[in-house]
Structure 1
Amino acid sequence: MLVKVLIVEDELVVRNGISNFIKEMGHSFDLIGTASNGLEALEMIQSHSPHIVITDIKMPKMDGLTLAEKVKKMYPDIIIAILSGYADFTYATRAMRFGVSDYLLKPINKDVFGTTLNRLMAEVVKGSVKYSHLLQNQPKWDMGLIRLESELLDCVEMANKSGLSDKAQLFIAELRKRYQNDTIQSIPYLTDFLVSLRKRIITNDELRGFIEPIVEKTIESIVPETDFTRIEENIHYLLDSSVYIVGQYKKTTSPDLVIRCKEIMDANYNKEISLQEVAEIIGVSAAHLSRVVKKELGKNFTEYIVDLRIEKAKNMLESTNFKVMDISKTVGYDNPDYFSRIFKRQCGISPQDYRYHFLTKGVR
C-alpha cells in the first residue's frame, strides 16, 4: 500500500526540504504534490485524495488551522500534521482540537520527521482496506479489556520483560474466556490490539525495520488460524521480540527524548503547557514521558517547569526594573500573589527581598 502525502508550505526552501525527506524514505510513501497555501491544497485534496496532509500554520489566502478544520469536516479520514515554530505552540494545541494527529517543530529534524511520518502511516494503515475485513463489526472494548491492554502495552513500551508475561497471559486468558476459544470472534480484538501495539511502539525507521515484519506476520497468521493455542504462541513471540528490541533501543535513545522534551518546555515555559500536550507532540504516551523525564532530570515535569520559571524570574529581578506583577505574567503566572508564594517557597524569600539583596550585596 502506497501512502499518499501532500505538503502545504509557503516557504519554498522548507517545502523542497520536506519533499526530499519523503522521497528519501522509500517506496512506502507517494508524494502526490505540494501546495503553497490552504486554497491550493484544498483543490489538490479534491483531485488526488491524499492519505496524509502536512501543513504549515501561517500561510497566505488560507492558513493551516483553517485548512485543517475544513479538511477534517470534508474528509475526516485524512490524517493531518501541523508544521510550525515554537512561537506558535498555542496554535498547535488548538489544532489538536480540530483532529490534527501530530505537530512538527521548525526547523524540521530529518530523524524526527521520519519518526512522525511512520507514526502517521500507522494511522492510515489502521483504517485501510487491508485490515477493514478484520475490523468490521468491531465490538466495543469494555473498561476491563482496555485496562488490560493498556497495562500490556505499557510493559512493551517500557521494555518491562518481567511484567510482560503475566499481563499477556491475563489479556489472552480474558479473550479465551469470553469467546470460549472461538478464534473468529476474537480476531477483531486481536487485530485491533496489534494495530495499537504498532502505533504505540514503532516510532522511527530503526524500530519499524525490526518490529513491523513481526507485526505483519502475526496479523497474517491469525486470520486463517483456528487453533487458539497457535494464536497465543504467535502473540507471545511478537511481544517478547518487541520488548527485547525496544529495550535495546531505549539504552541509547532516552536522552534524545528528554532533549526534545526540554526544548519544548524551555520554549513554552511561560504558557499553559501540559505533560499530555508535550507527549502528543513528541509522539509518546504521557506516562512514558513522565517516567523518562523523572529518571533523566531527577524531577518531574511540573517541577522542571516551576524551576525554569523561577530561574527566569530571578534573572529579570536582577537585570531589569520591571514590577513583580509584570515579571509574574512574563514567566507564566497571571496571579502575582500566587507567583510570590511559589517564589518564596523555592527561594526562601519574596521576589522584592530577592531583588533588594541582589542589588545591595550583588550575590544570588
Structure 2
Amino acid sequence: MPKILIVDDEAIFRKGLQSMIAAWDKDWDVVGAAKDGIEALERLEELRPDAVLTDIRMPRMDGLQLQKIAKERFPEIASVVISGYEDFAYVQQSMRHGSKDYLLKPVEREELGRVLDQLKAELLQRTPEPVSAEERNEDMLIRQHVTEHVASGLLQGSVHPEDMKLLQRIGIDFDQPYFTCLVIKLDKDSVDRERYSHADPSLFQLYIQQFVQEVLDNRASGLCFVISDTEVVALVNLADERESKIELLEIAASIRRQIRSLSNITVTIGIGTVVEGAQSIPRAYHEAGIALLYRLIVGGDKVLDYEQTAKENQFKSGIKKWSWEALEQAINEGKTDEVKSIVETVIQDLCRIAQTPEAVHQQICKLLIHYYELAEDLGITKQWLRQTDIRTLLFDICSISAIDELVEECRKLLGRLTAGIAARGRNAERDPIEQSVRYLERHYREPVTLKEAADRVFLNQAYFSSLFKQRTGTTFVERLTELRVAEAKRRIAMTDEKIAVIAEGTGFLNLRHFNRVFKNETGFTPKDYRERVKQETGKH
C-alpha cells in the first residue's frame, strides 16, 4: 500500500485532499499532513512516505525549498506540487528539480486521480536495487564528509593542497585570489517558542544552508555549510577585493530579505573582511563571528559587516576618558588589584550618566567585545572565559540589573583577564604601538586618523604620536603612507587596473594627491613606475 504525505498551509485544503484521495483509491494511505515545509521535513523523517503532495506557496518554508531539501535527504520519495495559475513559473522550477507532476488549484478529482494512478504504477514497478542505492548513499556521504572536512579545515587554517584537490574532484574549485566568510544565524525570537522547542534545530539550519547555497550558485562562487546546530557558514571566493565586497554586501542583504519574505523567519549575517589567499580565511571567519556579536547591541535581522560595525561601535561613552585609559593601562601592565578598583569607578560613573539600563549593558558589551578580540590575539581566551563562550557571557551580562552585581561580575572577568596577561608575561602583541601597527596593516585603505588610532588604544593623542615615533622610528603618517604606497606599487606592477582605481583603493584622497605622494616616495610617477616594471620583467 503506497503512503502519501499532504502539505498545505490551509487546513481545509489538507482535509479536502485527504478525502479525495481516500475516495479515489483505497490503496493509498494518507499517513499524515503538515502545514508548511519545516513541519513536513519532520513528518518525512518520521513517516517515510512514498510520495509527498505539497502546495508551493506556504509560510516559513515553501514547497520549492521543501522539495530541494527532501530530494537531498530522502531521494526515494516522489513529489507532486500544487499551485495556482499565477505560480506557473514556480511549477517550472519544481519540475526541473525532479517533481513528478503538478496540479492546479482548485484541484479537480479526475486530475488528482490521474496523478495518483501514475505514481502508484511507478512505485509498483520499482525493482529493488540495494547495491546501486547503497552506492548512491555512499557517494552522497563521501561528498558531504569531504566538504565538511575541507571547509572546517579552511576555517581553522589547517588545509593541505591535497584537500583542495579533493574539493575539485567533487566540483568545487576555489580559483579566485580573494576570500571572505559569512556567518548566518537564525534569530530564535523570530520563531514561535513552542514551535522551535518541538522542532529539530538542524532543520532550520539546513533550510538556511540550502537557501544561501542557492543564492551563491546564482550570484557568486562559494560553499555554504552547517557548522553547528546554531551556525551556518558561507565561504565565498572572490575575484576582486573592493568591488566584490560591495556586491557581497548586496548579496547578504538579499539573503536576509528573501528568507524573511519567504519563510517568515529572520537571520542575522556577520561578514568578515576580504582577505587574500586561502591561508587568511581563518581571519575572515573570526571577524565575521566578531561582527555577529554586535547583534546583541544593535539587534537582529541585520547584515553586520566587520569593518563597518566595529568602526561604528567603537567603545565610546560619556565616562571620563581617564577612567578608560587607566583601566586599559592597568590591564596592559597586569595590575589585577588596580583593575578591580578602577572597574568599580567606571561602572558607577557609567550607571550615573546612562539614560537607560540598555545603554549601560551596551557599553559594557562593547568593552568586553574589545577585550575578547585582544584575548583571541593573545591566545588566552579559554583561560579568561573558561567554560563560557563570549555569546553566553554577553547575554548573562545583559540579564544583570543591580549595580553591585554588575561591578562584581566585571571585576571577576577583567581581573581574570589581567591575571592571564600577567602570567603570559610581556607580549609585543599587547603593546599599544604594536597593536596600532597591526591595525594600520588591516585598515590602511580606510581614512584612518591619528586620533582614531590613539582612541583605539586609549592613549592621549599627543602622547601616542610621540610614543609611536619613539618606538617605530617613523611618524604615524609616515607609516600609513608607507603601507599605502607599498600596496599601490604591488597593484601597479601586478595588475592592469587604472591608476585612479588604485589610488582610491589604497586610501588616497584623490588622484592628484596620490601622484604627488607616490613620486615623493618612489621617485617615479605611477605611470612611469608601471612602464619601468614592464621593461624589467620583459612585458611589452
TM-score when normalising by structure 1: 0.48
- Decide which structure has the larger Cα Rg and report it: 2
